């Protein structure tokens, strides 16, 4: 789902006791807006929560929130996101754009993704302009960085999307078609943990003198990391997590293994009161993600830590799923869980339902 996009108003409802505001429905979201500005069927611009708006006069009302769009409560009504009229969008962008449902206007409005994860400083040198220096630069970034990262003095490079997609499940509110296509179907469920995304890619390189060498490539949500002085490498080494990767390599008899999970512990404020650890939620074998049953089976067999598993869920209504998302974490009964992740039995469709209680409590 785009951070800011053209959408259609699907409902307008009054708020009891409120004369100046009302509830607006967009996709599966509810937004509190000024009364009389929108009617059902209107085209509008919807800006999601977990975003940052530019510091321009139009968004000055967000300054106290550091221009961040998050879940709030007004007159006992949950409001998630911002809704702008097409007229206001035109004033902000000062240029024409396609007014069609689903069109992405994030860049036009200057909307950025909010992230509470602090990444490493980026010291990657830029590509030179001269052709012979460009070839040397490409050789260094494409070959040497993989084989001898410590010699290149590069902290990170962009996430390797060519090998695996980033870990970012779509919110159920952005997928209203789910309730039409999968009504009454059973989905596997797991707890969504409040941590930092980690991807581990198993690789081997051939060396002329000492033969093959195992390499474990470590990635955060947005980058592949090379400088080992960071929290992702530390938790990988502290937990000796390579032992689980090696077991998967032997089990599936392939070198093409990628795992993804949540890194939880002290760097995130340790809401679960646990030691730093990695909890998996995805395993890819030769580029294909294991379905939920195969994932659970292999993790149970080798005692690989995973995100807490929950009872299967039947797809009914949005309200029911959001209600199921609420509750206490299975890792700590005193901690509000972030939500749940649901995945079809074949593993092809997945999404997250985030607890509104968690969002409000943590100013998300």
Name the nearest CA neighbour of 111 among 138, 82, 88: 82
**Whole-number Å distance between alpha carbons of 53 and 103:** 18
Residue 128 within any structural domain of the chain: no
Q: Give the number of domains in the chain.
A: 2
**All residues at 6 or more sequence positions from 100 whose CB lies less than 8 Å from its CB, including other chains:** 6
Residue 161 within any structural domain of the chain: no
Verify that 195 and 287 share a domain, yes or no. yes
CATH number at residue 71: 2.40.50
Residue 159 within any structural domain of the chain: no
From edge to edge, which strands make up the β-sheet containing 309-314? Answer: 309-314, 186-192, 339-344, 350-354
Residue 36 within any structural domain of the chain: yes
Residue 281 within any structural domain of the chain: yes
Identify the domain boundary among 98, 113, 128: 113
Residue 81 within any structural domain of the chain: yes
Verify that 107 and 197 share a domain, yes or no. no
Identify the domain boundary among 94, 113, 132: 113
Verify that 277 and 208 share a domain, yes or no. yes
Under a CB-based contact definition with an 8 Å cutoff, are residues 3 and 68 in contact? no
Residue-wise burial string across 185-212, b where 16 or more C-beta atoms lie within 10 A, e elsewhere: eebbbbbbbbbbbbbbbbeeeeeeeeee
Verify that 176 and 107 share a domain, yes or no. no
As given in the structure block, the two tokens for residue 168 are: 């970012």
User: Mind listing the pLDDT tens digit of every residue in the chain (364 residues)?
Assistant: 789 999 999 999 999 888 899 999 999 999 999 999 999 999 999 999 999 999 999 999 999 999 999 999 988 899 999 999 999 998 888 888 888 999 999 999 999 998 775 454 444 555 666 666 777 767 766 666 555 555 454 678 889 999 999 888 999 999 999 999 999 999 999 999 999 999 999 987 654 445 566 789 999 988 898 878 889 999 999 999 999 999 999 999 998 999 999 999 988 888 999 999 999 999 999 999 999 999 999 999 999 999 999 999 999 999 999 999 999 999 999 999 999 999 999 999 999 999 999 999 888 7
Residue 123 within any structural domain of the chain: no
Identify the domain boundary among 113, 137, 155: 113
Residue 149 has a pLDDT of 53
pTM: 0.83
Under a CB-based contact definition with an 8 Å cutoff, are residues 164 and 261 in contact? no
CATH number at residue 274: 3.30.470.30
Cα of 115 vs its chain's centroid, Å: 10
Sign of CA dihedral 320, 321, 324, 328: negative
Residue 120 has a pLDDT of 47
Residue 198 within any structural domain of the chain: yes
As given in the structure block, the two tokens for residue 289 are: 């993600």
Residue 147 has a pLDDT of 58
Q: What is the extent of the structural domain holding 61? A: 4-113
Residue 209 has a pLDDT of 46
């Amino acid at each position: 789902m785009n951070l800011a996009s053209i959408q259609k108003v699907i409902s307008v409802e009054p708020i009891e006791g409120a004369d100046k505001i009302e509830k607006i429905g967009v996709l599966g979201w509810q937004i509190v807006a000024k009364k009389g500005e929108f009617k059902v069927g209107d085209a509008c611009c919807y800006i999601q929560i977990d975003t940052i708006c530019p510091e321009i006069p139009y968004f000055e009302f967000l300054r106290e929130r550091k221009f961040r769009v998050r879940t709030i409560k007004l007159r006992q009504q949950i409001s998630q996101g911002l809704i702008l009229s097409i007229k206001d969008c035109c004033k902000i962008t000062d240029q024409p754009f396609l007014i069609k449902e689903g069109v992405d206007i994030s860049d036009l409005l200057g909307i950025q993704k909010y992230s509470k994860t602090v990444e490493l400083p980026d010291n990657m040198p830029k590509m030179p302009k001269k052709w012979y220096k460009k070839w040397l630069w490409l050789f260094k970034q494409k070959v040497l960085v993989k084989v001898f990262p410590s010699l290149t003095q590069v902290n990170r490079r962009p996430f390797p999307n060519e090998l695996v997609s980033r870990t970012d499940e779509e919110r159920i509110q952005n997928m209203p078609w789910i309730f039409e296509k999968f009504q009454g179907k059973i989905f596997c469920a797991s707890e969504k943990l409040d941590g930092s995304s980690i991807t581990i890619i198993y690789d081997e390189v051939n060396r002329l003198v000492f033969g093959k060498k195992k390499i474990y490539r470590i990635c955060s949500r947005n980058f592949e990391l090379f400088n080992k002085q960071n929290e992702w490498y530390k938790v990988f080494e502290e937990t000796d997590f390579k032992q689980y990767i090696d077991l998967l390599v032997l089990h599936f008899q392939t070198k093409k293994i990628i795992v993804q999970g949540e890194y939880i512990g002290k760097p995130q404020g340790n809401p679960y009161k646990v030691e730093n650890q990695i909890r998996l939620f995805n395993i890819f074998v030769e580029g294909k993600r294991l379905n939920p049953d195969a994932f659970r089976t292999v993790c149970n067999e080798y005692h690989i830590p995973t995100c807490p598993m929950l009872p299967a869920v039947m797809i009914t209504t949005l309200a029911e799923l959001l209600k199921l998302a609420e509750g206490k974490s299975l890792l700590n009964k005193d901690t509000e869980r972030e939500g749940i992740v649901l995945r079809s039995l074949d593993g092809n469709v997945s999404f997250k339902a985030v607890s509104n209680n968690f969002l409000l409590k943590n100013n998300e």
